[in-house]
Structure 1
Amino acid sequence: VEGLDVWMTHIGGYPGRYSVEVKKEILSNPPKLFITGHSHILKVMFDKKIECLHINPGAAGNSGWHRVKTLAKFAISNGKIQDLEVIEIGNR
């Protein structure tokens, strides 16, 4: 996307705790941006080991155990992630 390698999957884990399904590939061929979900826990972390930004935007819907609906908004331009915002959109 705009010169940036992006990988998006539902279940992927987190830096240091990647899921079995993605661990081998992400460590051998890491993207610059890894977007996951599943946990409904908002997290933005940089994995220094593989030089990759990990984003879990949380959950924007009403299903699940989260109390606050969240999302992440950003732009990609010329291979760079810009203007990253974490947005709370209200209680579930």
Structure 2
Amino acid sequence: MLIGLIADTHGYLDPRVPPALKGVHLILHVGDIGAEGVLTALARIAPVTAVAGNNDAKLAQLGLPLRVDMELEGVKLHHVHRLIDAAPGSGTRIVVYGHSHKAVIAEREGILWVNPGAAGRVGFHREVTLALLRVANGRCEAELVFLGPRGSALLPNETPEL
């Protein structure tokens, strides 16, 4: 199973993101979504599971959770916006988080920690990033995808709420 990991869009979906997510089976947005239109656009690519970030108060009507625990292909995954709020349960093999706008893949004590970086245009990051997670037969691996400098164009027909 191929999973797209995205974070910190802050109401903007860079036009380079959809092609980079082509072929994924699921998209996990790890918060600071910023506008419902971002989730709508991502859902055109694949089913989306999202958690609320610290800047998502405007999306309260969506009822987004702060954490999601799921099992994919026999691998337990914990999905949260801020690393400080991570509370992986017993047997968790992957923790996906955002907030820092810093793309990271690290393995510690049997857990794969993945921060896809930031795919929006708000923040200190200079490059648009996301991550791809492959999970199969109880195994998992992640890779960062660097899409180039932050852009300024919106997707056609998308007007984020600012």
Give the shorter-chain TM-score range.
0.7 to 0.9
Please name the residue that 1:3 is paired with.
74
Please name the residue that 1:60 is paired with.
119
Distance in structure 2 (CA, Å) of the matches to 1:30 and 1:63: 35
User: Secondary structure in 2 aligned to 1:5?
Assistant: strand
For 1:23-50, what per-residue CA distance to the aligned partner results, in whole angstroms no more than 9, with x for missing partners? xx43x625100000000001111112xx
Partner amino acid, structure 2, of 1:68: E
- Aligned structure 1 segments of 4 or more residues deviating by more than 2 angstroms: none
Partner amino acid, structure 2, of 1:85: E
Using the aligned pairs only, state the percent identity: 32
Structure 1 residues 10 and 70, CA gap change in structure 2 (3 angstroms): same
TM-score (norm 2): 0.45
Question: Which residue of 137, 141, 148 maps to 1:78?
Answer: 137
Task: Determine if contact 2:75/2:138 at 8 Å carries over to the other structure.
Answer: yes
TM-score (norm 1): 0.76
Distance in structure 2 (CA, Å) of the matches to 1:65 and 1:30: 34
Unaligned runs of 5+ in 1: 13-18
User: Secondary structure in 1 aligned to 2:75?
Assistant: coil
Question: Which residue of 81, 87, 92 maps to 2:145?
Answer: 87
- Greater CA radius of gyration, 1 or 2? 2
Return the offset for 1:85. 2.3
Matched, 1:47 2:91: no
Unaligned runs of 5+ in 2: 1-71, 151-162
Total equivalences in the alignment: 79
Distance in structure 1 (CA, Å) of the matches to 2:143 and 2:113: 14
Structure with the higher strand share, 1 or 2: 1
